């Protein structure tokens, strides 16, 4: 049966209005064994994919007791089996995964800080030069010239 699993973020933190995300594992679409189970108040699917070491529990709700990290990865999702034999869990969220870092607040802060530090000096901007046919960023325009067009001063002629 075909299985679709969501990406996993090593860093997933919102700073002001912006997200800082670092992907640890991309989305996966693979053939695997899917077994539906209901036990001890847990309802979902046990997914075994050959390319992954441990099985994945795709659960409707978060379990009261999480399995050991070496026992299974846990994905919270309301995925259903489709008629064409697909278990699409891409809209789920990982509760436990071997590649997922510790969920302590201090480690998340450190990971987010390391991600933003890695961006410093990584971007190079080119200044536009029309005479040399170089497309790039244009220099900023003075604020007063922008303001005058909105107030109508540029269209007003003063008497001489």
Give the residue extent of every domain in the chain: 2-119
Which of 20-29, 32-41, 143-152 has the least mean pLDDT? 143-152
Contact 6, 21 (CB under 8 A): no
Question: Could you read off the pLDDT of 9-21 as tens digits, one per residue?
Answer: 888 888 888 888 8
159 pLDDT more than 80 = no
Q: Which secondary structure element, helix H or strand E, spans residue 23, and what is its range?
A: strand 18-25
Q: Which of 135, 140, 115 is nearest to 125 (CA)?
A: 135
Question: Could you read off the pLDDT of 131-156 as tens digits, one per residue?
Answer: 998 888 887 777 665 555 555 555 55
Contact 69, 98 (CB under 8 A): yes
Percent with pLDDT over 90 in the chain:
13
Can you read off the two tokens belonging to residue 69?
Answer: 């990290």
**Helix/strand/coil for 117:** helix
Question: Could you read off the pLDDT of 88-114 as tens digits, one per residue?
Answer: 998 899 998 887 766 555 666 777 777
What's the confidence (pLDDT) of residue 106? 61
Measured distance CA(37)–CA(23) in Å, rounded: 30
6 pLDDT more than 90 = yes
Task: Provide the 8-state DSSP code for 130.
Answer: G
Q: Looking at the whole model, is its pTM more than 0.85? A: no
Burial class (CB in 10 A: 0-12, 13-18, 19+), 115: middle
Contact 47, 58 (CB under 8 A): yes
Contacts of 35 (CB under 8 A, 6+ apart): 45, 46
């Amino acid at each position: 049966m075909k299985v679709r699993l969501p990406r996993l973020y090593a860093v997933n933190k919102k700073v002001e209005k912006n997200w800082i995300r670092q992907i640890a594992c991309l989305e996966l679409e693979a053939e695997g064994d899917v077994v539906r189970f209901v036990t001890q108040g847990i309802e979902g699917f046990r997914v075994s994919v050959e390319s992954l070491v441990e099985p994945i529990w795709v659960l409707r709700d978060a379990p009261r007791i999480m399995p050991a990290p070496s026992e299974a990865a846990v994905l919270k999702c309301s995925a259903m089996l489709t008629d064409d034999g697909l278990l699409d869990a891409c809209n789920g969220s990982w509760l436990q995964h071997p590649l997922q870092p510790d969920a302590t607040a201090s480690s998340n802060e450190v990971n987010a800080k390391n991600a933003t530090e890695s961006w410093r000096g990584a971007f190079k901007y080119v200044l536009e030069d029309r005479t040399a046919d170089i497309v790039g960023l244009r220099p900023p325009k003075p604020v007063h010239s922008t303001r005058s067009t909105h107030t109508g001063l540029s269209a007003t002629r003063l008497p001489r």
